[in-house]
Structure 1
Amino acid sequence: MTPPAVRAERLFRFFHSGDEEVLALRGVSLELAAGEWLALTGPSGSGKSTLLACLAGLDEPDGGNVWIAGRRITRRPEPARARLRGRHIGMLYQSGNLLEHLTVAQNIRFARRVARQPRDGDDVTDRLASVGLDGYADAPPGELSGGQAVRAALAVALANDPPVIIADEPTGELDEVTERAVLGLLAAHAATGTAVLVASHSRAVARAAHRVLRLRDGHLVDPGEYQGGR
């Protein structure tokens, strides 16, 4: 049986603020299948970003475990987590996805080197064309519009053809037209078998997703299903 692209079991995460202990995650469990697009919603401070960080191996939960493509990413040294993340996960944020001193093409190639995933030949031009950025290979990030920067960041996130994309408010600063275009790109990759997890306040993201989970005070509440893109 093929394992889920992402599986989390009873994740707990707490932080200390002075004498207070803040529970950011309270026993969160979820599964994400290959080709599934899951939207994660909830108010600010509900634990969405903390959950994404734990799923991607950027943060260690205080309890519970995470598996990516059947391989446990929790309870490993950071270099091991980084290797798994580089090979299996594409990360996409609202901003700060690109290294400003590198061109768009160099950002893609750098992502491949970090993940130790060299390629035969160079398909950067084709990859940029697939996200609507023909002719922008040599552009520095500072010359890109907001929508172009998100498209370039998606190309970087997909540099190693990861089986999982994890995105945190990727369309939060985009206009409606550009948001639709970016969501269309994510939907296209989900259709080819990539698992997509997007945390967002956007109703458009929820409508486009196959399923919606809601976080409140570190709990998953009323998971339900939103019959969107299928």
Structure 2
Amino acid sequence: MTAPAIRAERLFRFFHSGDDEVLALRGVSLQLAAGEWLALTGPSGSGKSTLLACIAGLDEPDGGSVWIAGRRITRRPEAARARLRARHVGVLYQAGNLLEHLTVAQNIRFVRRIARLRPDGDDVAARLAAVGLDGRGGALPGELSGGQVARAGLAVALANDPPVLVADEPTGELDELTERAVLSLLASRAAGGTAVLLASHSRAVARAAHRVLHLRDGHIVEGGEG
């Protein structure tokens, strides 16, 4: 039986502010199959970003476990989590996906080098063409428009050909036309077998996804999983 692309079991995450304890995640569980696109919705402060960080191995939950493509990413040293993430997870944010001092092509090659994959060669051009950035590989991020930066960020997040893409509000500052273009690219990746877990306030994202879960006060509600 094929392992889920993402399996998270009863995740808890605590934060402390002075004498107060904030329970950011309260036993959240979810699964995604390869090729499935799940939209995670909920108000600000509901735990969406914390959940994505734990699933991507960027943060360690205080309780529970996460498996990515059958490999446990929790309860490992940071270096081991980083290696798993570099090879098996693409991470896409609303901003900050690109190293400003590198060109778009260099950003792509850098991610592949971190993942210990062979250089792309001419494949970099194909990756840029796939996100509508033909001929822009030599541009620095500061030379791109907002929409181009969003598409370049997606190309970089997918540079390691990950089985899982985790995205946190990637269309939050985009105009409607650019958002539709990015959602079309995400749909194409899901159709190719990538599991896409995307947190967003956007109704367009929720409509485009295969499935929607709602997070509130650190747990899944309204009949969702968990």
User: One-letter code of the match for 2:158?
Assistant: L
Which residue matches 1:89?
89
Q: For this pair of structures, how many residues does the alignment match? A: 225
**Residue 146 of structure 2 corresponds to residue 166 of structure 1:** no
Name the counterpart of 2:192: 192
Change in Cα spacing, 1:120 to 1:95, as seen in structure 2 (3 Å) is: closer
Counterpart AA for 1:17: S
How many angstroms apart in 2 are the aligned matches of 1:224 and 1:205? Answer: 17
TM-score (ref. length: structure 1): 0.96
Within 5 A, what are the aligned runs for 1:93-172? 93-119=93-119, 121-172=121-172
Amino acid at match of 2:162: P
Q: Distance in 2 between matches of 1:190 and 1:175?
A: 22
Alpha carbons 2:14, 2:23 under 8 Å: kept: yes
Cα displacement (A) at 1:223: 4.1
Name the amino acid aligned to 2:21: E
Question: CA, structure 1 residues 121+104, in 2 after alignment: closer, same or farther (shift >3 Å)?
Answer: closer
Q: Which stretches in structure 2 are left out of the alignment for 5+ residues?
A: none
**Percent identity over the alignment?**
83
Residue of structure 2 equivalent to 1:26: 26
Q: Partner of 2:167: helix, strand, or coil? A: strand
Counterparts in 2 of 1:129 and 1:120: CA distance versus 1, 3 Å: closer
Question: C-alpha distance in 2, partners of 1:135/1:32?
Answer: 35
Shift of 1:224: 4.9
Hey, what's the Cα distance between the residues in 2 that align with 1:65 and 1:224?
A: 19
Give the aligned partner of residue 67 of structure 2: 67
| 1:80 alignment counterpart | 80
- Alignment partner, residue 201 of structure 2: 201
Moved over 4 A (4+): none
Residues 93-132 of structure 1: per-residue CA shift (max 9 Å, x gap): 0001000000000000011111212246441011000000
Question: For 1:13 and 1:37, how far apart are their aligned partners in 2?
Answer: 24
Counterpart Cα distance in 1 of 2:223 and 2:119: 40
Whether the aligned pair in 2 keeps the contact of 1:212 and 1:223 (CA below 8 Å) is no
Alpha-carbon distance in structure 2 between the residues aligned to 1:177 and 1:166? 22
Correspondence 1:168-183 to 2 at 5 A? 168-183=168-183
- Counterpart Cα distance in 2 of 1:222 and 1:120: 44
C-alpha deviation, 1:219, in angstroms: 0.6
| Residue of structure 1 in register with 2:2 after alignment | 2
Matched, 1:55 2:31: no
Give, in angstroms, the shift of residue 146 of structure 1. Answer: 1.1
Determine helix, strand or coil for the equivalent of 1:128: helix
CA contact (8 A) 2:109 2:120 kept: no
Runs (5+) with no aligned partner, structure 1: 226-230
Mapped contact 2:109–2:119 kept (Cα < 8 A): no
Determine helix, strand or coil for the equivalent of 2:142.
Answer: helix
User: Structure 1's 82 and 122: CA in aligned 2 closer, same or farther, altered over 3 A?
Assistant: farther
Is contact 1:92–1:167 with CA below 8 Å preserved after alignment?
yes
